[in-house]
Amino acid sequence: MARSGFVASGILHLLLGASSIRLAVGGTGNADFSGAVAELATMPVGPFLLWGSFAACAALSLWQAGDAIFDFNHQATKTKVKNKAKATLQAIVYAVLALTLWHFAMGTGTGGDNRKATSDFTIAMMQAPGGVALLVLIGVAVAVTGVVYGIRGPKKSFEKQLRMPAPGPARTAVTALGVAGYLAKGTVLLLAGLLIAVATIKEHPEDSTGLDGGLRALRDQPLGPLLLAAVGAGLVCYGAYMIMRARLAKMTK
Q: Looking at the domain assignment, is residue 226 inside a domain? A: yes
Distance, in Å, from the CA atom of 134 to the CA atom of 115, rounded to the nearest integer, reads: 20
Q: Looking at the domain assignment, is residue 24 inside a domain? A: yes
- pLDDT(45) > 90: no
Q: Looking at the domain assignment, is residue 253 inside a domain? A: no
- Residue 131's nearest CA partner among 210, 201, 193, 189 is 201
How many domains, the chain?
A: 1
State pTM to two decimals: 0.82
Residues 67-107: pLDDT tens digits? Answer: 888 888 788 888 888 888 888 988 998 998 898 888 888 87
Do residues 98 and 58 touch, judged by C-beta distance below 8 A?
yes
Domain range for 99 is 2-248
Indicate the residue type of 252: T
Distance, in Å, from the CA atom of 118 to the CA atom of 63, rounded to the nearest integer, reads: 26
Residues 136-174: pLDDT tens digits? Answer: 888 888 889 889 999 999 999 999 989 999 999 999 999
Chain-centre distance for alpha carbon 156: 18
- pLDDT(129) > 80: no
Distance, in Å, from the CA atom of 80 to the CA atom of 152, rounded to the nearest integer, reads: 20
What pLDDT does residue 1 have?
87
